[in-house]
Structure 1
Amino acid sequence: MRSIDYFDKQAGLTPDRTVLIAGDTRYNYAEMSALSHRLAGAMRADGLEHQAPVAILSPNHGAVVTTLLGLWRAGAVWIPVNARNALDANIDYLAYVRAQWLFYHSSHAEEAREIQRRVPSIRRLICLDAAENGNPSLDQFMLPPGAPSAPDLGDPTGNLDEVTAIIATGGTTGRAKGVRVMNRSWGTMLETIGALMPADHPVFLATAPLTHAAGPFTMAGIAMGATVVVLPTFDAGEVMRAIQQHRATHMFLPPTAMYTMLAHPEVRAFDYSSLRYFLLAGSAVSPDKLRQAVDVFGPSLCQSYGQTECHLVATWLPPETVAAAARGDHPERLASCGRATYSVRVEIMDDDGELLPPGEVGEIVARGGIVGGGYFELPEATAETWAHGWHHTGDVGRRDDDGYFYIVDRKKDMIVTGGFNVFSAEVEAAIMELPEVAEAAVIGVPDEKWGEAVAALVALLPGATLSADAIKAHCKARLGSVKAPKAVHFRDSIPRTPVGKPDKKAMRAEFWAGAGRNVN
């Protein structure tokens, strides 16, 4: 089905239930339904083409949710714009997907004007929160209350082959590619999340950027009839207070945000008993930090693995498995991203396209309903990613005899030192076992003897002290001398991409400048 169909289903069942809380803004499902009809009607009256790309540039804000539902009701395609990206990168991406409309928050007014100037396909700008520079506010643009409902554009199959969104990949290794998220793959993702994380009267806390994984996760909540509480940004103290205040049941955060919460001096001062699912996704999780989080936040910690191309929940590690592992029952599963979900088949493949048995290391590949529709107008890139009849993730991993997957590394993050392959994620996990460490990233740096040497960039917790020799000794004891870092560089923080992932490209640039390539 379409995203708006899932919303309409819940609006019909529970019209009086609160759907959105954002600051002083509060709407129930019936009120939000009326708003989405008023916005969709206004967009169509203004000449919106069916499946037109419509961009949203905003920090987390309640109007983002309203706009999403309205544009989907109007038959448009969502183009999320990462407000943390460089302006030139966003302009390049919007020109590539030929965005026609731009909804923006007033805090990004200057960027909106530059986008309008440099993206020739943009024909309409609407400011979400206030009239600005001759552009109407969202409230001004909508049809007036009592206007006729927008037409129903659905078909008997739920418009399976239409596009829900075109979402940018990270773009850390080149120009961002747009992933075609189809109604069929989006719907499969929503239904999978609903089946994996059921709850009566769910309350979803949205604090990570809605332009990234928090957006799909939030829409899965609405498909479940949830109340969505939107926080403007991630602040560890505010998030902890909001969990207690709103009795949140579901929350998504990247692991680094969870680490920040664990390090907060008041982390044990709040009541987290309402939490059923504290979902960690987006990057690997330190098993030691995960064990600590279960102790603090209760048996709600869970993990999923997926990608923009293979939406969010290819694998699933449920709270009960995490809690059992934290108690010592199969503790190795704290390092797992879980088992394949019902909607997808996940396997391990070698470089020749052969599927590998349990225990063997190879590329993680997937096939099934949550795999999107390839890259927008990039058939060669799509064909390469879909080689051998599978979606190739670019992640290296293994599967155990019980079906649990373990991510070993990104293919491009493998370090070849003295002829030995070292997976950076394995070394990072060892460093993160040290209680003084807040963040760690491991890269290969040029070395005359070994070709590449293992180097660690480490950020310590506030007030903590730890020597480079202590880190090296710990890793040598845990992993052996080949995998132990030859150098440790302390940093205030680890460089991150605009979507919050460790920016290995930027880290390598510091050490490989002038080398002409990033391998030796």
Structure 2
Amino acid sequence: MRSIDYFDKRVQFHPDRPILISDEAHYSYGEMHRLTHRLAGAMLADGLRHQEPVAIMSPNHGAILTTLLGLWRAGAVWIPVNTRNALDANIAYLNYVRAGWLFYHSSLAAEARQVQAQVPSIRKLICLDTDDGEHPSLDAFMLPADAPDAPDLGDPVGNGEELTAIIATGGTTGPAKGVRIMNRSWGALMETIGNLMPAENPVCLATAPLTHAAGPVAMAAVAMGATISVLPGFDAEAVMRAIERDRVTHMFLPPTALYTMLSHPRVRDYDYSSLRYFLLAGSPVSPDKLRQAVEIFGECMCQSYGQTECHMIATWLPPHEVAAAARGEHPERLASCGKASYSVRIELMDDDGNILPTGEVGEIVARGGIVGGGYFEMPEATAEATAHGWHHTGDVGRRDADGYYYIVDRKKDMVVTGGFNVYSAEVEGAIMELEAVAEAAIIGLPHDHWGEQVHAVVVARAPVEEAAIIAHVKARLGSVKAPKTVAFVDEIPRTAAGKMDKKALRQPYWGDQARMVN
């Protein structure tokens, strides 16, 4: 089904239940229902085309929820804009998907005007929180409160092959690719999360960016009838305070945010007894930190593995199994990402397309309902990712005799830092723009807080400072993708095939660890 169908089911049975708690507004399901009709009606009256891409560029804000539900009711396709990216990269992505509308927060008004100037397909801009010159606020743009309902655009099978979103994921070469998120695969994700994480009177805390994994988690919580408590950004004590205040049952954070909470001096001062599911995803978790988290937050810690192309919950390690492992029952499972979830089959494959038996190491491949629809207008990349009749994750892992999966390396040339994917070729290309650089290789180094940090290995043809390289990449690609350290070498090791030997580059830092991800 469509996201709006899951929402409408909850409106029917719980119209008075709160759906949104934020600094900006508090709404019930019934009030939000009316707002989404007013927004959808206004968009359609303004010429919105069916399945037109609509971008949202904003820090966390309560109006994002209203806008998402409204655009989906109108039959549009969500384009999340990661505000942590460099603006040039976001402009390139919006041109690639040919976004027609942009909803933005006033704090990004200058960036919105640059988007307007450089993305010819953008024809309508709406400011989420206030009138901004010629661009109306969200409230001002909506139809009046007594306007008729927007038309019902659903079909008998839930519009399964239509798009919910086109979400950016970096490529190993070139700019970001857009993953086609289908109503059918998005619906499978909603139902998978609902089946795995049930709770009475759920309250979901959204503090990680709604443009990242927190967005799908929040919408799955709406499908369960949850109240969404939105924080403007991650602040460890604000999160701990909100858990106690709002009686939060569900929350998602990347491991780096968990580590910040664990090190906070007041982490033991708050009441976490309401928590049922504290989901960690985006990168592997330190087993020692996970054990400590169980001690502090209780039997609520859980993990999942997935990716944009294979939506988020491909594998699942539930709270009771994490807690048991923390007590010493199969402690090795603290390093596992769990078993295959309901909506997908997971296997390991060799380079020739052969499924491998238990115990052998191979690429993690997936098949099932939560696999999306390939890459937007990139048939060759889609064909490569779906070779041999399976979705290829690019991650390397093994499976034990009980069906638990363990990620040990990455086939794709990628660094995961703070839960964000940084693709090496993109950063290498930015460094190579500098005339003083002859060659560059990007690898991930183990880091206690970020999981991995971006590290550049550079062969220089002329004097160049580490700080200059870092500053150049930060300006081109944003701070997340910029290297944190640079090493200068006379030459970069190569494999027999003449390719950069990234394994050899990583080995001095990772040593003989069982997995070369963190």
Other structure's SS at 1:506 match: coil
Mapping 1:281-430, distance limit 5 Å: 281-412=281-412, 428=446
The 1-side partners of 2:133 and 2:268 are apart by 46
Q: Is 1:508–1:518's contact at 8 Å kept on the other side of the alignment?
A: no
1:467-506 equivalent positions in 2, closer than 5 A: 506=483
Q: Report if the CA contact (8 A) 1:170-1:499 is conserved.
A: no
- Unaligned segments of structure 2, at least 5 residues: 416-442, 460-473, 494-498, 505-518
Match in the other structure for 2:276: 276
State the match for 2:206 in structure 1: 206
Kindly indicate whether the alpha-carbon contact (under 8 Å) linking 1:82 and 1:498 is maintained by their aligned counterparts in 2.
no
Structure 1 residues 216 and 440: alpha-carbon distance in aligned structure 2, compared to 1, 3 A threshold? closer
The change in CA–CA distance for 1:111 and 1:370 in structure 2 (over 3 A counts) is same
Distance of 1:163 and 1:185 partners within structure 2? 10
Q: Which residue of 1 is the match for residue 40 of structure 2?
A: 40
> Residue in 1 aligned with 2:238?
238
Q: In the alignment, what sits opposite 2:436?
A: none
CA drift of 1:446 comes to 6.9
Distance in 2 between residues matched to 1:444 and 1:140, nearest whole Å: 47
TM-score, normalised with respect to structure 1: 0.83
1:78 matched to 2:78: yes
Establish whether residue 145 from structure 1 lines up as the match of residue 145 from structure 2. Answer: yes
In structure 1, the residue corresponding to 2:33 is in which secondary structure?
helix
Where 1:261 maps in the other structure, the secondary structure is helix
Alpha-carbon distance in 2 for matches of 1:51, 1:2: 13
Give the equivalent residue in structure 2 for 1:176.
176
Distance 1:398 1:29, change over 3 A: same
In the TM superposition, residue 410 of structure 1 has moved relative to its aligned partner by 1.2
Structure 2 residue aligned with 1:441, among 452, 464, 468?
Answer: 452
CA distance in 2 between counterparts of 1:508 and 1:173 reads: 22
Say which SS state the counterpart of residue 69 (structure 1) adopts: helix
Check 1:326–1:498 CA distance in 2 against 1; reply closer, same or farther (3 A cut): farther
Q: Distance in 1 between matches of 2:67 and 2:126?
A: 10
Give 1:170 deviation, angstroms: 3.4
Q: Is the Cα–Cα contact under 8 Å of residues 347 and 355 in structure 2 kept in the other structure?
A: yes
Q: Distance in 1 between matches of 2:167 and 2:451?
A: 28
Contact 1:82 1:499 in 2 (8 A): no
The alpha carbon displacement at 1:438 in A equals 3.7
One-letter code of the match for 1:45? Answer: A
Distance in 2, Cα, partners of 1:160 & 1:232: 33
Corresponding residue for 2:265?
265
Write the distance in 2 (CA, Å) between the matches of 1:37 and 1:270. 39
What is the SS of the residue equivalent to 2:272? coil
Q: C-alpha distance in 2, partners of 1:499/1:224?
A: 36
How far did 1:95 drift?
A: 0.1
In structure 1, the partner of 2:508 is: none
Distance (whole Å) between structure 1 residues aligned to residue 186 and residue 7 of structure 2: 13
Paired with 2:44 and 2:132, the residues of 1 have a C-alpha distance of: 22
Does the 8 A contact of 2:52 with 2:76 survive in 1?
A: yes
**Judging changes above 3 Å, is the alpha-carbon distance between structure 1 residues 512 and 11 closer, same or farther for their aligned structure 2 residues?**
farther
Contact kept? 2:458, 2:488, Cα under 8 Å: no
TM (norm. structure 2) is 0.84
Q: Evaluate the alpha carbon distance shift between residue 377 and residue 12 of structure 1 in structure 2; reply closer, same or farther with a 3 A threshold.
A: same
Mark the CA change 1:248 to 1:440 in structure 2 (over 3 Å): closer, same or farther. Answer: closer
Is residue 314–residue 340 contact of structure 1 (8 Å, CA) maintained in 2? yes
| Distance in 2 of aligned mates of 1:282 and 1:513 | 35
Q: Residue type matched to 2:347 in 1?
A: E
Equivalent residue runs for 1:150-165 within 5 Å:
150-165=150-165
Amino acid at match of 2:96: Y
RMSD: 2.6
What is the rounded CA distance, in whole Å, between the counterparts of 2:162 and 2:339 in structure 1? 29
CA–CA distance in 1 between the matches of 2:344 and 2:294?
28
Q: Kindly, what percent of the aligned residue pairs are identical?
A: 70
For residues 53 and 453 of structure 2, the distance between their equivalents in structure 1, rounded to whole angstroms, comes to: 39
Q: Please give the alpha-carbon distance, in whole angstroms, between the structure 2 residues aligned to 1:508 and 1:50.
A: 47
The Cα of 1:510 is off from its aligned counterpart by: 4.6
- 1:23: how far off? 1.1
Higher RCO by CA contacts (8 Å cutoff, separation 6 or greater): 2
Kindly provide the amino acid, as one letter, of the partner of residue 210 in structure 1. L
Paired with 1:287 and 1:50, the residues of 2 have a C-alpha distance of 47
Cα distance in 1 between the residues matched to 2:172 and 2:477: 9
- The alpha-carbon deviation at position 251 of structure 1 amounts to 0.3
CA distance in 2, matches of 1:162, 1:289: 41
Change (3 A) 1:511 1:64: farther
Could you say which residue in structure 1 is the equivalent of 2:512? none
Query: Quick check: 1:38–1:143 contact (8 Å CA) kept in 2?
Result: yes
Structure 1 alignment gaps of length 5 or more: 416-423, 449-494
Name the amino acid aligned to 2:113: R
Tell me the amino acid that sits aligned with residue 60 of structure 1: N
Matches within 5 A, 1:12-161: 12-161=12-161
- Report the Cα offset of residue 63 of structure 1: 0.3
Alpha-carbon displacement from aligned partner over 1:249-282 (angstroms, at most 9, x marks no partner): 0000000000000000100000000000000000
